[in-house]
Structure 1
Amino acid sequence: MSHHGLYIEARIRADLDELWARTQEPSQHQRWDLRFTEIAHLPHAEGEPQRFRYATRVLPGLTVAGTGISAGEKERPDGTRTSALRFASPHPLSLLAEGSGYWRYVPDGDGIRFLTGYDYRPRWGALGALADRLLFRPLMGWATAWSFDRLRLWLEHGITPERARLNWLTELAVRVLVITAGCTGLALESALRLLGPYAAPLAYLCPVLLIAAVCAALFKAPLPCTPAARRCLRRPPARARAPRLLRTLENPR
């Protein structure tokens, strides 16, 4: 495994049982988690850890699937809850070969610290390791944090995951349009100078307005109804450790 595991933490003001249900029930989990298109429980013997299948639609007509095994501790003496899992994908196009992780639910005042730590082994040798370090791992970290904030919006404000995604796409489209229009306007600004002294004041004012608009589109904080990865903590505290429960799970081969 990599020595640079991923850590994401969100603070969610919600009922602990409700948060547990929306993260443990596959039909609920797949609605808010950007990393998965489908999650389904598999048959298992009573008393054994839960097995599951997950799938991600990479491209239209191309779905990468894998299996996993999970276990949860819903009642702990300190009032927290824990869920641990191991997963693997035999699909040759899946960069992610196998991995493990955990979720922790830590009541904290009027909210819950919902956090995850996970790591995986990439395939494809040295090329896969390079692609993972430069692209895939940062993307996975962003997707996890974005998804956690989408879950927060659902629990705190009743914004469904589907609506939150639409809000995000709409805001992204507006930002792209503003940036495109701003860059185009800056390129055309010099043409105003050719119109003579009457257009000169406008020629000098336009770049200022266009630059201000582009900066707003690039750096303005997302709207409160839009999911944003930046709202989540991405660095683990020094005391963060994987739960003991994880050691009890076998690899889902």
Structure 2
Amino acid sequence: MGLYIETRIRTDPDTLWARSQDPREHQRWDLRFTEIAPLPRTGDDEPDRFRYATRLGPFLTVAGTGTSAGERHRADGERVSALRFASPHPLSLLAEGSGYWRYVPADGGVRFLTGYDYRPRWGRPGRIADRWVFRPLMGWATAWSFDRLRLWCETGTPPERLRLHWLAETALRLLAPAAAALLAPPAAALAVLAAALLLPPSARTPAARRCLRTAPPRTAAPALLHTLPPAAPLPAAAPASPRES
């Protein structure tokens, strides 16, 4: 898989499973999505289907669909879910992809990890933009979201409030050096800048740096992923919102 993110969360497996598998809960902590909604299943043997959307601006939302399946009770004690996703929107750099989540029991909690990859569109320009801009941004957003989920599970602080914590701390780190540059002597201004860059984030502020970003050796996608069909097109019954036009 092209991207790998891992964190350790001090919580019980059922709580973590619910907050990551329920679309209503998932969209609360995952920075990559504005909306995640289940779609009707076409048959009892079909995997779960969902629609996702990401707002890129006040009047632009990019949407796509996905299929997912999970194994909640395994002999090794792990839980696994896998998904395939695709977006037909011409402005979505992400054309289609697949990934998985693993829930590995650990002392006092759960190792929660993901691996995923995707195919960018727009030809060679898209591949360049993906390599240098979009893929690093997606990795950061996934890790930041995992840490927000961790803090939600461990402290009980709602994801919405955690986002406000992060915005406030980010604003402080940006404004303090600017104010010092205008009002303080150069040496003091440099000290404030160094503090803004080097001080670790607050324990109550989500931070991507807390997550592992390199896959351990011999990491492989679960077999469940290979049983999933490709994501289906957006159904006619769920047309794109006016923001997507």
Task: Return the structure number with greater helix share.
Answer: 1
Q: 1:178: which partner in 2?
A: 176
Which range moved further: 175-184 or 212-221? 175-184
Task: Give, in whole Å, the separation in 2 of the partners of 1:250 and 1:76.
Answer: 22
Q: What secondary structure is seen at the aligned counterpart in 2 of 1:233?
A: coil
Residue identity (%): 67
Task: Give, in whole Å, the separation in 2 of the partners of 1:138 and 1:184.
Answer: 33
Question: Following superposition of structure 1 onto structure 2, how do residues 83-162 of structure 1 map, counting pairs within 5 Å?
Answer: 83-162=81-160
| Greater Cα radius of gyration, structure 1 or 2 | 1
Q: 2:68: which partner in 1?
A: 70
Task: Give, in whole Å, the separation in 1 of the partners of 2:222 and 2:177.
Answer: 45
Which whole-Å deviations, capped at 9, do the CAs of 1:108-167 have from their partners, x for residues lacking one? 111110000000000000000000001000000000000000000100001110000000
* Cα-Cα RMSD: 1.0
Kindly tell me the number of residue pairs found equivalent between the two proteins. Answer: 231
- 1:223 aligns with one of 202, 212, 230: 202
Residue 185 of structure 1, CA deviation: 4.4
Task: Give, in whole Å, the separation in 2 of the partners of 1:159 and 1:7.
Answer: 26
The AA in structure 2 aligned to 1:79 is G
The AA in structure 2 aligned to 1:24 is Q
Task: Give, in whole Å, the separation in 2 of the partners of 1:29 and 1:252.
Answer: 19
Residue 29 of structure 1, CA deviation: 0.2
Q: What TM-score do the two structures reach when normalised by structure 2?
A: 0.92
Q: 2:241: which partner in 1?
A: none
Q: What TM-score do the two structures reach when normalised by structure 1?
A: 0.89
Is it true that 1:8 corresponds to 2:5 in the alignment?
yes
Q: 2:36: which partner in 1?
A: 39
Which range moved further: 134-143 or 4-13? 4-13
Is it true that 1:238 corresponds to 2:235 in the alignment?
no
Q: 1:26: which partner in 2?
A: 23
Task: Give, in whole Å, the separation in 1 of the partners of 2:57 and 2:63.
Answer: 13
Task: Give, in whole Å, the separation in 1 of the partners of 2:89 and 2:213.
Answer: 29
Structure 1, gaps ≥5 residues long:
187-205
- 1:17 aligns with one of 11, 14, 17: 14
Q: What secondary structure is seen at the aligned counterpart in 2 of 1:247?
A: helix
Task: Give, in whole Å, the separation in 1 of the partners of 2:218 and 2:39.
Answer: 34
Residue 210 of structure 1, CA deviation: 1.8
Task: Give, in whole Å, the separation in 2 of the partners of 1:25 and 1:215.
Answer: 41
